Chains A and B, each alone.
Chain A
């Protein structure tokens, strides 16, 4: 394990460098706009995975927290008289906290159920919130709300949002990594594998599940806030969007459910593709066909997602190398066919 650490650190450093340098290299607003949406989904997929990927409870209602974040930021900015500009970004963490607070009662209710029932309840919450936002006065009903619009130059406009989202992304991934290796993370994994047994071994499952649920809602609320500010307007259909839930789940599935980097990879590929096709074809829903095809391909070819499958391949390749080394040491290296057979038999 120790020997692999520097390679991982290097990989993370390269990732952060690319993240930081992207707008400097691709400064075209079309590109940075695609990048911004991609970052938003990377945060959302990573946060969603912290609950659903680790605990095995597939939530299809995180759009609730995305929308709550979006509305919270817009409402607070408008009512507290925030001037358009950097200052509004101070409300991003607040949007996250509001989303986290909303996740407490909704999580409490949804987590009384398991499996399919849980999934259905989370979907129901999403529609309840969408309906509520369409009908309440303070949310502006179906015509939505407009947060203040900053007067930044068109060329660098996206960059502001990009860097704020990039910071949220780094923090979210760091948290995801921390949770995965923690005792709390192990408890979540034990719930995923066998909740009844986890209880029998002293895991306080209700508390562990709810806290993971709330934790995963916070970054989603934060990017929801950024999304509203970025678009300059927010409607119930976009804030509480069933396609958001499907996309986020699909991204995590394709990349590798329950891994730290899988959801990032999934979001990177799917969201940039979607944005690209939207820009190219103008037909904004064409991507759904591609999503479906990709999902089928992944389920058929890499059922556990890209990252775990690639890891398996690498491990197999490594052990094959080790077997060959051992064989050579034992003076047996002259018959490669046997060695390959031995490695394949594992």
Chain B
């Protein structure tokens, strides 16, 4: 299977701190890939580089074979890569429906965007469909700031879906979400995957990752440690060391 989105040899340093060292990650088209690793291992940094929020010092990011290294987040989204944030970000003073309508961008001229009313009938219908899909249709007209934490995560997902991206990058979708919503969320991800969407999920919830992902990559101290099926990763001694400590690192003391 060809890779839809991939990072190759990506390095990034913040001043003296080497956050990523020659990381490589490949997400095959139509798969659900997982990215795990201990806190501070560079998962979100890699995410940010892949979605244009940060620039890498070295390496390349490719989408569908084309280099997108250093593209702006707006451009990355326009190409069909949607992302959510670790700490959920919404437009709190806009309504739930308006939150979704923001994402229904067309590549339209500036003058048209001033003259056209926000949300055509078709866009509203589609936005409501997406809200229905995540189970928030009843809250369409309430301010997004009134939603519960779990509902915010779902709204964040819905507002990506309305733009119909080819690949979705989810940064810790289950953090702070109750178990019922987690199972709803993984159900939705499976539905979408069956419909052809590709996913890359950063997670700490092992049960969620191992149950959902076809392939898991482990980051440790800014390097890719292993890549493989959930079973391979689970039984890899290097992964256990990374999570539980021990091994070579401790001998140095």
By a beta-carbon cutoff of 8 Å, the part of chain A in contact with chain B is 178-179, 181-187, 189-190, 192-194, 196-205, 207, 211
The answer to whether B90 touches A194, judged by C-beta atoms less than 8 angstroms apart, is yes
Q: What is the bound-complex CA distance between A204 and B89, given in angstroms?
A: 18
Query: At the interface, is chain A mostly helix, strand, loop or mixed?
Result: helix
Report the minimal beta-carbon distance from B167 to chain A, rounded to whole angstroms.
14
**Which residue of A192, A193, A196, A202 is within 8 Å of B53 (Cβ)?**
A196
The answer to whether A183 touches B118, judged by C-beta atoms less than 8 angstroms apart, is yes
A197-B85, A197-B90, A201-B102 given; A184·B113 CB < 8 A: yes
| B110: A residues at CB distance < 8 A | 184, 207, 211
| A204: B residues at CB distance < 8 A | 74
**Which residue of B77, B91, B118 is within 8 Å of A185 (Cβ)?**
B118
The answer to whether A202 touches B94, judged by C-beta atoms less than 8 angstroms apart, is no
B83 at the interface (CB under 8 A from A): yes
26 A-B pairs (CB sep. < 8 Å): A178-B115, A179-B114, A182-B116, A183-B108, A183-B114, A184-B113, A186-B94, A186-B118, A189-B91, A189-B94, A190-B94, A190-B102, A194-B92, A196-B85, A199-B53, A199-B74, A199-B77, A200-B82, A200-B85, A200-B89, A201-B82, A202-B77, A202-B78, A202-B105, A203-B102, A203-B105
| B113: A residues at CB distance < 8 A | 182-184, 187
The answer to whether B105 touches A196, judged by C-beta atoms less than 8 angstroms apart, is no
Report the minimal beta-carbon distance from B122 to chain A, rounded to whole angstroms.
13
Task: Output the nearest chain A residue to B112 by Cβ-Cβ distance.
Answer: A183
B98 at the interface (CB under 8 A from A): yes
The answer to whether A182 touches B115, judged by C-beta atoms less than 8 angstroms apart, is yes
B163 at the interface (CB under 8 A from A): yes
Report the minimal beta-carbon distance from B61 to chain A, rounded to whole angstroms.
16
Docked complex: B67-82 residues within 8 A CB-CB of A: 72-74, 77-78, 82
B51 at the interface (CB under 8 A from A): yes
Q: What is the bound-complex CA distance between A204 and B113, given in angstroms?
A: 12
Report the minimal beta-carbon distance from A101 to chain B, rounded to whole angstroms.
17
**Which residue of A187, A192, A193, A199 is within 8 Å of B72 (Cβ)?**
A199
**Which residue of A186, A201, A211 is within 8 Å of B163 (Cβ)?**
A201
The answer to whether B117 touches A196, judged by C-beta atoms less than 8 angstroms apart, is no
By a beta-carbon cutoff of 8 Å, the part of chain B in contact with chain A is 51, 53, 72-74, 77-78, 82-83, 85, 89-94, 98, 101-103, 105, 108, 110, 113-119, 159-160, 163
Report the minimal beta-carbon distance from A187 to chain B, rounded to whole angstroms.
7
Other A-B contacts than A186-B102, A198-B91, 17 sampled, CB-CB below 8 A, are A181-B117, A182-B117, A183-B113, A183-B118, A193-B91, A194-B91, A196-B73, A197-B89, A197-B90, A198-B102, A200-B51, A200-B53, A200-B82, A200-B85, A200-B89, A201-B82, A203-B102
The answer to whether A200 touches B93, judged by C-beta atoms less than 8 angstroms apart, is no
**Which residue of A183, A201, A207 is within 8 Å of B116 (Cβ)?**
A183
Q: What is the bound-complex CA distance between A196 and B105, given in angstroms?
A: 16
Q: What is the bound-complex CA distance between A316 and B237, given in angstroms?
A: 62
The answer to whether B94 touches A193, judged by C-beta atoms less than 8 angstroms apart, is yes
Q: What is the bound-complex CA distance between A207 and B74, given in angstroms?
A: 11
| B72: A residues at CB distance < 8 A | 199
Report the minimal beta-carbon distance from A267 to chain B, rounded to whole angstroms.
23
Q: What is the bound-complex CA distance between A205 and B83, given in angstroms?
A: 17
With a 10 A CB-CB cut-off, give which of A179, A189, A193, A205 has the most chain B CB atoms. A193
| B115: A residues at CB distance < 8 A | 178, 182
The answer to whether B83 touches A200, judged by C-beta atoms less than 8 angstroms apart, is yes
With a 10 A CB-CB cut-off, give which of A186, A187, A207 has the most chain B CB atoms. A186
The answer to whether B118 touches A200, judged by C-beta atoms less than 8 angstroms apart, is no
**Which residue of A182, A193, A201, A207 is within 8 Å of B118 (Cβ)?**
A182
With a 10 A CB-CB cut-off, give which of A179, A189, A190, A196 has the most chain B CB atoms. A190
